Amino acid sequence: MTPRTLLCALLLTSTVPLAATAAESREESVQAPETHNRELKVGDKAPDQYKRDDQAIRDWHAKGLPAPEKESHWVRMGEHYVLVQITNGVVLAIHPAS
């Protein structure tokens, strides 16, 4: 076997497992749509949709909620009002909805 043939054989055999690994890792990173059934606590990251401005509660004062902190807003999640930081989605506070 010539050095060139050996090099080609090594390259071909080494790329096949890499291609298979890349395909497997893509499959592992596929995420199902969130169902929002998980329990959130202060400090957890809320689903991205709650960072959007259209989810914000504008009349937070009328609902008896404290003023939102800078770069955050109140959203409703089920039976709770949740203060979500807009920049990273971290839950800052949770209050029951009345």
- What is the 3-state composition of the chain as percent helix, strand, coil, each rounded to the nearest 5? 35, 20, 45
- Position 31 scores a pLDDT of 29
Its pTM stands at: 0.62
Give the whole-angstrom CA distance, residue 14 versus residue 46: 41
Report the pLDDT averaged over residues 18-28.
Answer: 37
* Domain architecture of the chain: domains with CATH: 44-96 (3.10.450.160)
The tens digit of pLDDT for each residue in 25-67 reads 223 322 223 545 578 899 999 999 999 999 999 999 999 999 9
Task: Give the pLDDT score at 50.
Answer: 92
In whole angstroms, give the CA distance from residue 13 to residue 77. Answer: 52
The H-assigned helical ranges of the chain are 3-29
State pLDDT tens for residues 83-95.
Answer: 999 999 999 999 9
Higher pLDDT residue, 96 or 10?
Answer: 96
